[in-house]
Amino acid sequence: MDLYLLLRFEVTGVKVVWLKEISRNANTRNLDLGLPETLQFKLERSGQQDLTLNLMENRRLNQNAPVYEVHTQNGQNKLVKKETAPITDVKFYHDHKNGGSFMVECSKRSSGACRRTLTGSVEIDDEAFGIKPMPERLVSRALVVNNRNPHLLSRVIYRTGKGIPSVIARRGQSAKGNLEKE
């Protein structure tokens, strides 16, 4: 299938969206430096208003948390800390304003700096959406043509086919009156 047709076509509720990094700080935008504490993206949606994502690192989650295995020796179970290489190309972020929670990965590319990708969820117009990177086989052609980072956005739906209204409460706000203000 031609990439142009794929980008204009909605397949079972999944839409192609474009992430464009709009951070003003040159060090934040520098893809060779990895993942900073804050990131800012513009989520471009065809035929709809763009959404600005202001991501802040979620320091409560640790991608390098210790990993333990249970080893049984002489009938006794013992916890043994597993040696793992540090993870440096993944961080977790949140966007309080848009009810977003994301894993951001800095995938190394064979040519040039890393490609920052988002996997997670976000609230748009009081509905919950999932976002994930477009499959790698389609990315290189898309990036050459558009110089933007393609992702797939899908509305979270019940098995009945109805969208899930978001009930994510933010400071000083309520989602569609479902929750009391804090």
Q: Which residues touch 57 (CB under 8 Å, ≥6 apart)?
A: 35, 36, 37, 38, 91, 92, 93
Helix ranges, 41-173 (H): 136-146
Q: Which of 155, 144, 117, 154 is nearest to 4 (CA)?
A: 144
What confidence tens digit (pLDDT) does each residue in 25-81 have?
Answer: 766 666 666 688 899 999 999 889 999 999 999 988 888 888 899 999 899 999 999
Three-state secondary structure call for residue 20? strand
Tokens 């640790």, located at residue: 62
Could you give the CA distance from residue 95 to residue 173 in angstroms, rounded to a whole number?
14
Eight-state DSSP code of residue 157: B
Give Cα separations from 1 to 6, 10, 13, 46, 151 (angstroms).
7, 14, 18, 20, 18
pLDDT digits (tens, 9 = 90+) for 129-160: 999 998 877 766 555 445 578 899 998 865 45
Identify which has the larger pLDDT, 124 or 181.
124
Say how many C-beta atoms besides its own lie within 10 A of residue 165's C-beta.
12
